[in-house]
C-alpha cells in the first residue's frame, strides 16, 4: 500500500487537481470528469481545511464563488486616497518648464533630486496588505472608486501573497502589464478559438483582469510592477527609499535612474529612447518624480495630479514599409474602408501588416498609391495609421474606389455629402457578419460564445439571416459547425437565452443603427420604451438632449421602416424583453446639477464633503470658474476663494453649506 499522504500534501494535490479541472471546464470546454466527481473533490478539500484550519488559504478554490468564478460584476472599492493621473510633457522645453515650477514651489536654494522611471503602459491597480497578507486589489476606476478585482489579482504574477517585512497596513499602487511575448501568445490562442483577439497588450491586460474567471487571469501571465502607494504606515523619507523598501518586501519595481538636475533627466530620456524597441513591455514615456518626500509634501497636488511628478512622453513610434496592396473591408453599415496591406514591420512591440486608410479622401490627401513607401505610426499603441508617403514607388498603381462590393458583388454607392462609399445590398453577407458581431459584443448583448469563426459559419451556411435569427438557433444547428462540441453549443445557447433580459439601452445599441452609439442608446432608453420608439417622429427624437438632426433622421428611418419594425417584432417574439433600465431617482434638491468647489480646511476630509454633494445630485470640481455654483471655504482658504470673489461666485462657510443640503 502506498504511504498515506500528509494532510498538507493532500490539500496541495487537491488544489492542483481542482485547478486543472476548472481550467478544462472554463477554458478548454473539455471537462474530463462529471459534476458530482468535481463536487466530491471540493468537498474533500473543504473537510481537510476544516480539520486543519492552519491549511486554509484565501486562494483555495473553496474560497471562490462558484468554484472559481467571480460574480457578474465587481464590487466598488473607495480608494483611501484618490488615484490621480500625471500631467504630460513632450519636449525638453516642457520638462525644463516643469523643473522651474518645482523650484519655485521649494524654498530658495533647494536642489531637488529626481527619480526617473519608465512609464508603463498598463492599468493601474492598488493592492492592500494587512499584517503582510494580501487582502484586496482594486482597479483605478474613476480615481475615487475602483473595482474589487482581488480574486483575479491573486493570479497576477509579482503580486506577493505574503510580504517579507512590512508595516501592519499598506496599500501599494502599481501597473499591471502584459509582456509582448505573452500578449502574442494570448492573441494566437484567441484567434485559433475564432475570437478576434486584443488590439494591444494594455487592452488584453485590462480584459484579463476585468473578467469573471480567475483562471483566465492566471493563464495570461499578467505582471505587477509597484510604483507608488496610497498608504504606507511607516515613516519613509524619499521615493528611492520607498522603492528599496518595496523590493525588500517582495514586490517587483522597475529599474530607475537618479538625476541631480533636469538636464540629467533630459540626457537619460535621450539615451533611454534607444532602449525602447528592446523592452519586453510597452513603455510610452518616463515618469519623473521629486525624490524627497518633504519636498513632495511642500509641492502638493493640483486637483488631478501631483506637482512633484510628471510624465515625459516619447512620441509615437514610427516605421516605414511598402504598400503591397489596398484591400476593401465592408463594415456593418455597408461602409467600405480601404486597408493598406504592407510588408510586415515591427513597431511598438507588435508586427504590423495592415493599416487602415479610413476612407478614400484620406488616400487622396496622402497621395498614396500601391508600391509607395509609407511612414506608419502607432499612436497610443492602438490602431496604426499612415502619416505620409515617404517615397513614391517606382511602379505605382493608383487606388480607386471599388465599383462592386468586394464581398457580395453588390452595387457600391457614395452617399451625398459623406466621404464613405457603401455597399447598397441590404443582404450583403459581410455586413451581416459585422452586424452579428456587433450585436453579440460585450457592450451590446454580450454573447461571448459568438466568436468570428462561429459567425462566419452561421452566415456562410445560411443558418442566420438577421440578428433575430440567432434566437431561433437549435443545438443541432450548432453541432454541425466546425469546432463546436456539445458543451460549447450548450454554452452559446445559454448565453443567447441570458441575453434576452438585456435592458433596452443595450438592445438599441446592439441594433447597430447608424450614428447611434452606447451613450445615445442610454439616453434614449431613459426616455422611450420600445413602443414609443416605434412611434416617435424625427422631431420627437430631436428633442432628446444630444440627439442632432442626423442621428434623429437615422433613428426615425430605422424605427419607421418595415425592416426595422419587422426585426423588433421578431426579437420580441423570441422573448427579447427590452425592459427599460432602472432609472436613477431624479434629485429634487433645489441645487441639483450645480457645481460646488471646496477650498481650505474643512472639519471632514474633502472627499467626504464632495460625496454629500454628489449624493444630493450636485456636482463637484477642483477649480473655480464662472460656471461654479458655490465655493465652500474652510479655514485658511487661499487662491480659490480669491477667484470666487473676483468672479462673483457665492461663497459659503462649511456651516452654511450643511444648511443647504437636503434634510
Ligand atoms: S506614479 C499620481 N510611476 O501612469 C500618479 N505612475 O498617467 C502617480 N504609470 O495612473 C503614479 N508607470 O498608473 C507612476 N513609473 C510610474 C508609472 C505610472 C505608469 C501610470 C499610473 C498612472 C498613470 C498616470
Question: Which pLDDT tens digit goes with each residue over 563-599?
Answer: 999 999 999 999 999 998 876 566 788 888 888 999 9
407 lines ligand 1 (CB under 6 A): no
pLDDT of the residue at 350: 75
pLDDT of the residue at 327: 95
Of the candidates 400, 577, 604, 609, which has an alpha carbon nearest to the alpha carbon of residue 502? Answer: 577
DSSP state of 577: -
What is the residue with the minimal CA distance to atom 21 of ligand 1? Answer: 124
DSSP string, 322-344: EEEEEEEEE-TTSEEEEEEEEEE
CA atoms within 13 A on the CB side of 343: 10
Catalytic residues: 119
d(CA 619, CA 628): 10
Sign of CA dihedral 438, 439, 440, 444: positive
d(CA 388, CA 320): 10
d(CA 148, CA 210): 9
Low-confidence ranges of the chain (pLDDT < 50): 1-3, 26-29, 31, 65-72
pTM exceeds 0.85: no
d(CA 257, CA 272): 10
Task: Please report the atom of ligand 1 found closest to the CA of residue 118.
Answer: 15
470 lines ligand 1 (CB under 6 A): no
467 contacts: CB under 8 Å, gap ≥ 6 = 435, 436, 439, 510, 511, 567, 571
What is the residue with the minimal CA distance to atom 3 of ligand 1? Answer: 227
For residue 85, the CA-to-ligand 1 centroid distance in Å is 7
DSSP state of 121: -
156 lines ligand 1 (CB under 6 A): no
pLDDT of the residue at 4: 63
Contact by Cβ (8 Å): 218, 209:
no
Task: Please report the atom of ligand 1 found closest to the CA of residue 311.
Answer: 7
d(CA 374, CA 339): 13
For residue 396, the CA-to-ligand 1 centroid distance in Å is 46
Q: Ligand 1: which of 287, 309, 380 to mutate, most ligand atoms within 8 Å of CB?
A: 287
For residue 294, the CA-to-ligand 1 centroid distance in Å is 20
d(CA 498, CA 515): 27
Contact by Cβ (8 Å): 568, 609:
no
For residue 618, the CA-to-ligand 1 centroid distance in Å is 30
Q: Looking at the DSSP assignment, which residues form a beta bridge with residue 86?
A: none
Round to the nearest angstrom and report the end-to-end CA distance of the chain. 75
Amino acid at each position: 500500500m502506498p504511504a498515506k499522504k500528509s494532510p498538507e500534501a493532500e490539500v496541495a494535490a487537491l488544489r492542483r487537481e481542482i485547478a486543472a479541472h476548472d481550467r478544462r471546464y472554463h477554458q478548454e470546454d473539455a471537462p474530463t470528469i462529471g459534476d458530482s466527481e468535481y463536487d466530491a473533490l471540493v468537498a474533500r478539500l473543504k473537510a481537510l481545511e476544516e480539520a486543519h484550519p492552519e491549511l486554509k488559504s484565501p486562494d483555495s478554490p473553496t474560497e471562490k464563488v462558484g468554484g472559481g468564478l467571480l460574480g457578474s460584476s465587481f464590487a466598488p472599492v473607495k480608494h483611501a486616497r484618490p488615484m490621480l493621473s500625471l500631467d504630460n510633457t513632450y519636449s525638453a522645453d516642457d520638462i525644463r518648464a516643469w523643473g522651474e515650477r518645482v523650484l519655485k514651489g521649494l524654498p530658495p536654494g533647494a536642489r531637488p533630486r529626481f527619480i526617473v522611471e519608465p512609464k508603463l503602459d498598463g492599468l493601474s491597480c492598488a493592492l492592500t496588505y494587512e499584517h503582510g497578507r494580501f487582502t484586496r486589489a482594486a482597479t483605478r476606476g474613476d480615481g475615487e472608486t475602483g473595482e474589487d478585482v482581488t480574486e483575479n489579482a491573486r493570479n497576477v504574477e509579482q503580486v506577493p501573497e505574503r510580504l517579507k517585512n512590512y508595516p501592519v497596513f499598506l496599500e501599494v499602487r502599481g501597473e499591471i502589464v502584459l509582456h509582448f511575448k505573452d500578449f502574442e501568445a494570448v492573441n494566437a490562442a484567441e484567434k485559433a478559438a475564432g475570437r478576434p483577439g486584443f488590439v494591444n497588450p494594455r487592452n488584453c491586460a485590462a480584459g484579463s483582469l476585468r473578467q469573471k474567471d480567475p483562471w483566465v487571469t492566471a493563464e495570461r501571465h499578467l505582471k505587477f510592477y509597484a510604483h507608488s502607494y496610497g498608504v504606507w504606515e511607516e515613516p519613509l523619507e524619499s521615493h528611492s527609499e520607498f522603492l528599496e523598501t518595496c523590493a525588500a518586501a517582495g514586490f517587483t519595481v522597475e529599474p530607475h535612474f537618479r538625476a541631480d538636475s533636469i538636464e540629467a533627466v533630459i540626457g537619460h530620456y535621450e539615451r533611454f529612447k534607444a532602449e525602447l524597441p528592446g523592452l519586453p513591455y510597452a513603455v510610452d514615456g518616463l515618469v519623473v518624480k521629486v525624490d524627497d518626500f518633504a519636498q513632495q509634501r511642500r509641492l502638493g497636488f493640483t486637483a488631478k495630479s501631483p506637482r512633484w511628478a510628471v510624465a515625459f512622453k516619447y512620441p509615437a513610434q514610427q516605421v516605414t514599409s511598402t504598400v503591397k496592396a489596398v484591400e476593401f473591408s465592408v463594415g456593418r453599415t455597408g461602409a467600405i474602408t480601404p486597408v493598406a496591406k504592407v510588408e510586415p514591420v515591427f513597431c511598438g512591440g507588435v508586427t504590423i501588416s495592415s493599416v487602415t486608410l479610413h476612407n478614400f479622401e484620406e488616400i487622396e490627401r496622402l497621395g498614396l498609391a500601391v508600391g509607395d513607401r509609407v511612414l506608419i505610426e502607432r499612436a497610443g499603441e492602438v490602431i496604426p495609421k499612415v502619416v505620409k508617403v515617404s517615397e513614391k514607388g517606382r511602379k505605382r498603381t493608383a487606388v480607386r474606389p471599388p465599383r462592386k462590393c468586394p464581398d457580395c458583388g453588390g452595387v457600391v454607392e457614395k452617399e451625398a455629402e459623406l466621404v464613405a462609399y457603401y455597399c447598397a445590398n441590404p443582404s450583403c453577407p459581410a455586413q451581416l457578419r459585422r452586424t452579428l458581431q456587433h450585436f453579440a459584443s460585450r457592450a451590446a448583448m454580450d454573447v461571448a460564445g459568438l466568436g468570428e469563426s462561429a459567425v462566419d459559419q452561421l452566415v456562410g451556411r445560411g443558418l442566420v439571416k438577421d440578428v433575430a435569427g440567432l434566437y431561433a438557433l437549435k443545438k443541432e444547428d450548432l453541432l454541425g459547425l466546425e469546432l463546436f462540441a456539445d458543451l460549447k453549443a450548450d454554452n452559446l445557447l445559454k448565453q443567447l437565452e441570458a441575453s434576452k433580459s438585456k435592458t433596452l439601452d443595450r438592445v438599441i445599441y446592439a441594433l447597430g443603427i447608424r450614428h447611434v452609439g452606447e451613450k445615445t442608446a442610454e439616453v434614449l432608453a431613459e426616455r422611450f420604451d420600445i413602443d414609443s420608439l416605434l412611434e416617435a417622429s424625427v422631431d420627437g427624437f430631436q428633442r432628446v438632449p444630444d440627439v442632432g438632426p442626423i442621428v434623429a433622421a437615422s433613428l426615425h428611418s430605422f424605427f419607421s421602416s418595415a425592416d426595422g419594425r419587422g426585426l423588433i417584432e421578431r426579437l420580441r417574439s423570441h422573448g427579447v424583453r427590452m425592459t427599460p433600465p432602472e432609472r436613477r431617482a431624479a434629485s429634487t434638491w433645489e441645487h441639483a446639477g450645480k457645481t460646488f468647489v471646496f477650498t481650505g480646511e474643512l472639519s471632514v476630509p474633502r472627499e467626504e464633503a464632495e460625496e454629500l454633494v454628489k449624493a444630493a445630485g450636485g456636482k463637484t470640481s477642483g477649480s473655480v470658474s464662472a460656471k461654479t455654483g458655490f465655493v465652500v471655504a474652510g479655514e485658511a482658504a487661499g487662491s480659490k476663494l480669491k477667484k470666487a470673489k473676483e468672479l462673483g461666485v457665492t461663497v459659503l462657510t462649511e456651516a452654511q453649506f450643511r444648511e443647504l443640503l437636503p434634510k
